[in-house]
Structure 1
Amino acid sequence: MPLIQVWMRSGKDKAYKAAISKSIHQAMIEVMKLPGDDYFQVTCELEEENYIFDPNYFGVPRSPDFLMIRLSFNARPAAVKQRLFETIADNLVKSPGLRREDIGMIIIETAFENWWVHARAVDPDTGTDSRIGGA
């Protein structure tokens, strides 16, 4: 049950936001082997005065389209997380057409026992949802 949060500057249309959501979710399915219905995202649109970042963050020019994405889920190996970052970035470049320079991501990991939702089928050996593939 990953929780995905996206922060962006306000003003983009519904199709643009849907493309961001789909691009992230497709990467989660591909890399983490999530079932298609394991999908919960929150998009926060902020006005310029409330979305503050250096336009040359890490010495790289960033545009007003800069996204910050926080992915919260149970622990995964470093290689899986790196592959997820790259796949999300690749997908967002394809659709909605973001520049890699305008994408920032962070993963927050939590213990398996710290997630709950009614009807979740937990594998007693791994502590993960029993529908998740071997990521």
Structure 2
Amino acid sequence: MPLLHISMRAGKPEAFRQAILDNLYRALRETFDVPEDDQFMTITEHDAANFRYGAAFGVDRSDDVIYIQITVFDTRTAEQKKALFKRIAGLLGESPGIRSEDVFVNIVETAKENWSVGHGLAQFA
């Protein structure tokens, strides 16, 4: 039950954004065993004045950097997370052509009882 928030600079075409969403879903299916049709993702675009990045940690980022925050159950192993990071960078490199230096991913883990996916119910508690 991942929830993804993607932040990026404004101006990319729809096909570029759709490739991001498609490949993030694919990476989650392949590495986190996310069920079919479990797609809860948003992309927020920012103008240059409202989007900042740096070269911290020895990574030479560009204006094409995207921030991907993934909120998930706290059930994945470190190995699964490493596999997800690698798969995301690889797939986004293939399509829509984002350099691995520009793929910034953060995982936020929460307990299952912290989720309600509709009807006001705690489906996983």
Fold match by TM threshold 0.5: yes
Q: Which digits, 9 at most, give the CA deviation of each residue in 1:31-74, with x for residues without a partner?
A: 111122110101010001100112x2323321100011000000
Does structure 1 residue 6 correspond to structure 2 residue 2? no
Does structure 1 residue 61 correspond to structure 2 residue 66? no
User: SS of 1:62's equivalent?
Assistant: coil
Gaps of 5+ in 1: 129-135
Q: TM-score normalised to the size of structure 1?
A: 0.84
Does structure 1 residue 113 correspond to structure 2 residue 113? yes
Amino acid of the structure 2 residue aligned with 1:69:
I
User: SS of 2:31's equivalent?
Assistant: helix
Q: TM-score normalised to the size of structure 2?
A: 0.91
Q: Which digits, 9 at most, give the CA deviation of each residue in 1:3-27, with x for residues without a partner?
A: 0010100000000000001110000
CA distance in 1: counterparts of 2:56 and 2:63, whole angstroms: 12
Q: Which digits, 9 at most, give the CA deviation of each residue in 1:76-131, with x for residues without a partner?
A: 111111111111111101110111011100000000111112389x6xxxx59xxx
After TM superposition, list the pairs within 5 Å mapping 1:20-39 onto structure 2: 20-39=20-39
Amino acid of the structure 2 residue aligned with 1:70:
Q
Amino acid of the structure 1 residue aligned with 2:106:
I
Amino acid of the structure 1 residue aligned with 2:57:
F
Q: How many residues align?
A: 122
Amino acid of the structure 2 residue aligned with 1:66:
V
CA distance in 2: counterparts of 1:23 and 1:112, whole angstroms: 25
- State the 4+ residue runs in structure 1 displaced beyond 6 angstroms: none
Kindly, what percent of the aligned residue pairs are identical?
39
CA distance in 1: counterparts of 2:30 and 2:98, whole angstroms: 20
1:78 aligns with 78
CA distance in 2: counterparts of 1:30 and 1:16, whole angstroms: 21
User: SS of 1:96's equivalent?
Assistant: coil
Amino acid of the structure 1 residue aligned with 2:70:
L
Amino acid of the structure 2 residue aligned with 1:82:
K
1:133 aligns with none
Amino acid of the structure 2 residue aligned with 1:98:
I
User: SS of 1:118's equivalent?
Assistant: coil
Gaps of 5+ in 2: none
